[in-house]
Amino acid sequence: MEKIFDLNRLNVKAFAREHLSLQGLQGLSQFARLIDLEVKTGPDSHNTATESPSVNWAVQGELVSVSGSEDQIWLHLKAELHLPMQCQRCMGAVTVKVSSDQSFRFVPDEATAEAEDDASEEDLLVLTPELNVWELIEDELIMSAPLVPKHEVCPTLVPMSAVDAAFEDALDARPNPFAALAQLKKKPN
């Protein structure tokens, strides 16, 4: 009989004890905060993808024996998607590969996590009866997304000048304040 897991409420300890793994493809609509990074593409945009992006994900539990101590509970997570974002150079759509490959070690409480955080290379999480794996995947992908997405080479010419002809004309038409000062200087008292 195949076990069915609810990734909204995963018992990580049992999952790790049995060395289980799950993987799948989940639509971006599952991730409310991640979807905010997506640029909506129209028919005139440079993004040719017609279907909504999906997150390819995998989680694996592991129980690691440590001599003289309790077994360590680990969760390994991999997730990736191709997300249309807004290029910060040309302001058009650019599809960016966002991926995360993280391992988490679970500790009994916040005090232990705080005490061991500086000395450990892995990410530490506090063991709770139920873990929302979807939120963990979303958090990791958001942190992996580029802060400044951009094309390698933008498909349209990007103007690198901030000259506005109307502004320049208005500057020329305005009287020079130093010329007025010079006129005051020439007038006899």
Q: What is the pLDDT of residues 86-95, one digit of tens each?
A: 999 898 999 9
Region label for 91, one of left (φ > 0), alpha (ψ between -120 and 50) or beta (otherwise): left
Q: Could you tell me which residues come within 8 angstroms of residue 17 by beta carbon, excluding any fewer than 6 positions away?
A: 61, 63
What is the SS3 assignment for 103?
strand
Angle at 157 between CA 152 and CA 163, to 5 degrees: 125
Bridge-based pairing state of the strands 72-86 and 54-64? antiparallel
- Taking only the tens place, the pLDDT of each residue in 48-85 is 445 689 999 999 999 998 888 889 999 999 999 999 99
In this predicted structure, what is the pLDDT of residue 172? 75
Domain spans in the chain, listed from the N-terminal domain onward = 12-158
pLDDT of the residue at 2:
60
Low-confidence ranges of the chain (pLDDT < 50): 1, 43-49
Instruction: Report d(CA 35, CA 14) in Å as an integer.
Output: 31
